[in-house]
Amino acid sequence: MKCHLMLLALAAPLLFAAEPPRPHHGTKLLVVNDDGFSAFHSGRYKTAEDLKNAMLAYKDTQVAVMEWCIIAGSRANYPSKVTELIGAGMTEFPRRGDKLAHETLKRMADGGENTLKIVADACHEAGLACYASLRMNGDYPENMWQGSFPKYANSTFWWQHPELRIIDAKGKTGYRFSFAFPEVREFKLSILREAVQQDIDGINLDFQRHPVFFGFEKPMADAFKARYGVEAATVGQDDPRWVPLRYEVMTQFVREVRRILDEAGKAKNKHLGLSVRIDWQKYPTWGCDIATWLKEGLLDYLVVGQYGLGGYDFDIAPFVQMAKGSGCAVLFGEEAITKGHDRTAEEDRLIAAGKLKPPPSELLTREQYEARAAKVYAAGADGLHLFNETRKEMFTGLGDVKTAHAR
């Protein structure tokens, strides 16, 4: 397959007017992300009615936006024509919850029920906006859990195209797609074109699930040598000279997403929003040219967090300043889990046999949330983004924390 780096420069910047969602029952914007899988895995969502009621439960909270994740790995949790349903084609599953999730999603799909439509309709009934969230590079290693989980979550497109994956400096192929290839970008864009057919209010691009997005693939290596006259294999992955090359590719991708949203919004006679979630330190090496995206008005809200477990601390003020005059809201991204990990297939087998207790986990407390919210609001943040948070009591009050209480 002949692949080349598409670095299409626009004759003039595309300027759009940012329209961030408005706060709901509060003064600050509160956004929640549902990964679109865990509640099926645990059995909390067993029917379309369960899913609808879960969204309706946000009606009297301060949550203004529900980000509903539509992809696990690179498979969908709705009946898609672009990729396969999560777990399709499998008869034996890595964990009990994986089997339950697949059976529920298959039953719903076979019954003509689209999870994204159900969520969007219920969100609107509850007075919330609904953003479809795309995990930008979520595929899993080929040998994970004896190969069972990648068969469950990675798409046929992933399996058929190892040549489109990231390559390291020594030429070893990894397991994540490289956005250097137009075929990869088109695969992702096709999923988003499918998503905007539903009555959603926007798209969230989740760069924290999972980096990285570029390596030493031929398109990148050729572009590096052409620009700098240096063989790419002689420099490190974090060499700052990679950054502008990655910026060009990813910015073109984000512009294409913005076009998809604008075309769909024009047909629906409403503005469709775009948000991204990034790491406050690593975003340049990921190819996220936030300054340009803000300058061009591509984003409606920006989520800034840290890749990994929660409880981290950083200054949000530089991002508030960066977004000044753009109209884009800046949210501090919280990860609720401060200790713990996803249950492995082996752990699940031992727990089912009564030979192991479930691994412990710890979450941010209400007091921690309030103190952290006060601090970031005092620094100018427009709101909070809550990830891996399902406790309803956390969804009221955090949109009204007084900055004077910052500690």
- Which of 184, 90, 80 has its CA nearest to residue 138? 184
pLDDT confidence of residue 195: 99
The answer to whether the beta carbons of residues 183 and 164 sit under 8 Å apart is: yes
What are the tens digits of pLDDT across the range 18-46? 899 999 999 999 999 999 999 999 999 99
> How much is the pLDDT for 218?
98
What is the spatial distance between Cα 129 and Cα 289, in angstroms, rounded to a whole number? 26
Cα of first residue to Cα of last residue in the chain, in angstroms, is 57
Q: How far does CA 269 lie from the centroid of its chain?
A: 26
pLDDT at residue 164 in the model:
99
Cα-based distances in Å from 147 to 98, 297, 305, 405: 14, 42, 31, 50
Domain locations in the chain as residue ranges = 29-405
- Reading the block at residue 169, the tokens are 């400096």
User: Residue 10: its pLDDT value, please?
Assistant: 38
Q: What is the pLDDT of residues 231-245, one digit of tens each?
A: 999 999 999 999 999
| CATH number of the domain located at residue range(s) 29-405 in this protein | 3.20.20.80
The pLDDT tens digits of the residues spanning 280-329 come to 999 999 999 999 999 999 999 999 999 999 999 999 999 999 999 999 99
| In contact, 221 and 181? CB cutoff 8 Å | no
Question: How many percent of the chain have pLDDT more than 70?
Answer: 95
Q: Where are the beta strands (DSSP E) in 193-321?
A: 202-206, 273-279, 301-305
pLDDT of the residue at 41: 99
> What mean pLDDT is reported for the chain?
95
Of the pLDDT bands very low, low, confident and very high (cuts 50, 70, 90), residue 16 is low
pLDDT tens per residue, range 103-158: 999 999 999 999 999 999 999 999 999 999 999 999 999 999 999 999 999 999 99
Exposed e or buried b for every residue in 121-156, given b needs 16+ CB within 10 A?
Answer: bbbeebebbbbbbbbbbbbbebebbeebbbbbbbbe
Residue matched to tokens 């058929």: 160
The whole-number average pLDDT for the span 181-193 is 99
Compute the Cα dihedral for 196, 273, 129, 265 and give only its sign. negative
Q: Which residue in this structure is represented by tokens 């999560």?
A: 86
Encode pLDDT of 194-224 as tens digits. Answer: 999 999 999 999 999 999 999 999 999 999 9
Helices (H), 14-94: 38-42, 48-56
How confident is the model at residue 405, as a pLDDT?
52
Using the predicted structure, report yes or no on whether residue 382 has a pLDDT greater than 90: yes
Rounded-to-integer distance, Cα 220 and Cα 3, Å: 11
DSSP, collapsed to helix, strand or coil, labels residue 230 as coil
Which among 273, 260, 291, 129 is positioned nearest to 188, based on CA atoms? Answer: 260
CA–CA gap between residue 148 and residue 141 (Å, rounded): 10
